Structure 1
Amino acid sequence: MLFFTQCFGAVLDLINLRFQHCQAKRVFSSAGQLVCVVNPTQNLKNVSEKCEVPEDSSPQTTRHHSHHEMVYDPQLTSCTCPLYACKWEGHLEVVVSHLTQAHRISILQGTEIVFLATDMHFPAPVDWLVTHSCLDHHFLLVLRKQEKYQGYPQFFATMLMIGTPAQAENFNYKLELHRNRRRLTWESTPRSVLDCVDSIIADGDCLVLNASLAQLFSDNGSLAIGIAITGSKLCAVESEM
């Protein structure tokens, strides 16, 4: 009986997942867009520790000068999964493999995808994450729910490029919410993963939704966000040359 109950529950989960997938495809006009269903990651570490530089620097992150002072490597980044209790550090070239192997974050291919965040009712802080591969680069979409004031949650969505700030300037991204004849669009330049997500949110350099606005665009507890990434005009001119 227990086995039957577990199997029946798994079938219901699959049906619900498929239902959400079809809903997102109906919301966005392009039927060919890839829909990625993303489950939330709840807070697993102290928020105040996220932007701190580790006290103990490994040999990979530092180099010795004449006076033996330790200098932090600016190309080194901490784990870009903001709410994971992960002490990993590494260079930009290995960030993607860390995300996929250690945290099992999916990589989606294509310049346009639909990001479907489930369980919007989860208590803050909570994150939804997905890696986006296109235009020969990788990007990380972070949707965060956190309280601005106690009892007043907000949603923040931003795109990070897994590269340097100079590389990130060569791209633009668009986030679009569309439901019941309403459309909300945010367009900007992605930030580098070398930046701290907390700082990006504090600067307001991201899409910000209050709880009522998020509810307006959500459907059955899920929020569908259309994502499109393009190269900037400068990047296009350089490729032609």
Structure 2
Amino acid sequence: MEFDFQEKASSSSDEDEVARHSRAFSKNTISGGSTAGSGGGTAHGPGVFQTSNVHELLECPVCTHSMFPPIHQCQNGHTLCSSCKTRVHNRCPTCRQELGDIRCLALEKVAESLDMPCKYASLGCPEIFPYFSKPKHESQCRYRPFCCPYAGSDCSVTGDIAKLVMHLRDDHRVDMHTGSTFNHRYVKSNPRDVENATWMLTVFHCFGQYFCLHFEAFLLGQAPVYMAFIRFMGDENEAKTYSYSIEVGASGRRMVWEGTPRSIRDSHRKVRDSHDGLIIQRNMALFFSGGERKELKLRVTGRIWKEHQSQESGACIPNLFN
């Protein structure tokens, strides 16, 4: 992200603000040799500041998020972030004075000198970053909470994997299964009626990890299709260490999909729209149903394995339809 630091000469109020923030900055600066318990803050080396007062100076009073250039101020020296400047209709939320286009250059300089901990430090992230590098890291931090992977609803719950597993079981009533194989049967009385519908059939636990099996019906262009795929409850790098296969079939015929589970960092919709899974055309699904094709009876089976076990375990799942 690039920031424009070019600005016209400071007004007298700018100079007052420079002095005010300089005093606050000096008061809260901790020398490189300081340790926890000295002056109410901690330091991890020269230029590392974690005092609460410095952090409060950089907190927008409107959204309470950290401020990044351009940082705006009113004539009385109250500051806020650029995105909130529009939200408050160019009026200072503290004193109601018109904001104008005054930049708080002093506070921007303070921010330039700071090294700060990741905001997910309480979740285990040990990293320290220059202030302006924090947003990029935090957007990719492996300790950031996961979003609920349940498909078919806009669920706002976030948390670690243990919390989400309990949430899926207790709040979404998702079936829980232990083992690396699965066997589901999907039945639809009117297979000609294909609406957008999503299901999370199972969350299953194997190899010390959790995986989500998804199955859904939707229109691919004008063609009604069914799709099955698996997502890994963890980060992408770890997801790549596993493989899975999904199979549908009947009467000695089968379709098999083999792939790598996608992380739940990728949304359900993103995985579906990338077609990264087993896609079954309706006519083929009806063929697998047998009989007079008046009712859809589709059996979805498969398994998961760790990649280093693929050679000894075999790449394909056993035929479970015989």
Q: Does 1:153 align with 2:224?
A: yes
Which amino acid in 2 is paired with 1:149?
Answer: G
Select 2:164's aligned residue among 76, 82, 95.
95
Looking at structure 2, the residues matched to 187 and 62 of structure 1 have their Cα atoms a distance apart, in angstroms, of 38
Cα pair distance change 1:62/1:172, threshold 3 Å:
same
What does 1:179-218 correspond to in 2, within 5 Å? 179-218=250-289
Cα pair distance change 1:224/1:180, threshold 3 Å:
same
Select 2:300's aligned residue among 225, 231, 234.
225
**Do the aligned residues in 2 keep the contact of 1:171 with 1:235 (CA within 8 Å)?**
no
Q: Does 1:144 align with 2:216?
A: yes
**Do the aligned residues in 1 keep the contact of 2:176 with 2:204 (CA within 8 Å)?**
yes
Select 1:112's aligned residue among 176, 181, 195.
181
Which amino acid in 1 is paired with 2:150?
Answer: C
**Do the aligned residues in 2 keep the contact of 1:154 with 1:209 (CA within 8 Å)?**
yes
Q: For 1:176-221, what per-residue CA distance to the aligned partner results, in whole angstroms no more than 9, with x for missing partners? A: 1120111111111111111112221222221111111122223642
**Do the aligned residues in 2 keep the contact of 1:117 with 1:128 (CA within 8 Å)?**
no
**Do the aligned residues in 2 keep the contact of 1:170 with 1:235 (CA within 8 Å)?**
no
Looking at structure 1, the residues matched to 162 and 150 of structure 2 have their Cα atoms a distance apart, in angstroms, of 16
RMSD: 3.2
Cα pair distance change 1:222/1:127, threshold 3 Å:
farther
Looking at structure 1, the residues matched to 254 and 194 of structure 2 have their Cα atoms a distance apart, in angstroms, of 26
Which amino acid in 2 is paired with 1:143?
Answer: F
What does 1:9-48 correspond to in 2, within 5 Å? none
Q: How much identity, in percent, do the aligned residues show? A: 20
Q: Does 1:164 align with 2:235?
A: yes
Looking at structure 2, the residues matched to 111 and 92 of structure 1 have their Cα atoms a distance apart, in angstroms, of 18
What SS is found at the alignment partner of 2:174? coil
Give 1:229 deviation, angstroms. 0.9
Cα pair distance change 1:97/1:182, threshold 3 Å:
same
**Do the aligned residues in 2 keep the contact of 1:139 with 1:161 (CA within 8 Å)?**
yes
TM-score, normalised to structure 1, is: 0.64
Q: Which runs of 5+ in 2 are unaligned?
A: 1-62, 66-117, 121-129, 312-322
What SS is found at the alignment partner of 2:227? strand
Give 1:235 deviation, angstroms. 9.6
Which amino acid in 1 is paired with 2:252?
Answer: R
What count of residue pairs does the alignment treat as equivalent? 180
Cα pair distance change 1:163/1:222, threshold 3 Å:
same
Give 1:128 deviation, angstroms. 2.5
Give 1:223 deviation, angstroms. 1.4
If asked which structure has higher relative contact order (CA below 8 Å, sep 6+), I would say 1
Q: 1:46 aligns to what?
A: none
Question: Relative to total residues, which structure has the larger strand share, 1 or 2?
Answer: 1
Select 1:134's aligned residue among 206, 230, 233.
206
**Do the aligned residues in 1 keep the contact of 2:228 with 2:277 (CA within 8 Å)?**
yes
Runs of 4+ in 1 over 3 A off after TM superposition: 69-75, 120-123
Looking at structure 2, the residues matched to 224 and 173 of structure 1 have their Cα atoms a distance apart, in angstroms, of 17
Question: Larger radius of gyration, structure 1 or 2?
Answer: 2
What SS is found at the alignment partner of 1:98? helix
Select 1:81's aligned residue among 146, 150, 160.
150
Q: For 1:84-113, what per-residue CA distance to the aligned partner results, in whole angstroms no more than 9, with x for missing partners? A: 242222233322111101101011111222
Q: Which runs of 5+ in 1 are unaligned?
A: 1-55, 237-241
Give 1:153 deviation, angstroms. 1.6
**Do the aligned residues in 1 keep the contact of 2:228 with 2:279 (CA within 8 Å)?**
yes
Looking at structure 1, the residues matched to 310 and 225 of structure 2 have their Cα atoms a distance apart, in angstroms, of 34
Looking at structure 1, the residues matched to 273 and 182 of structure 2 have their Cα atoms a distance apart, in angstroms, of 27
Give 1:62 deviation, angstroms. 5.6
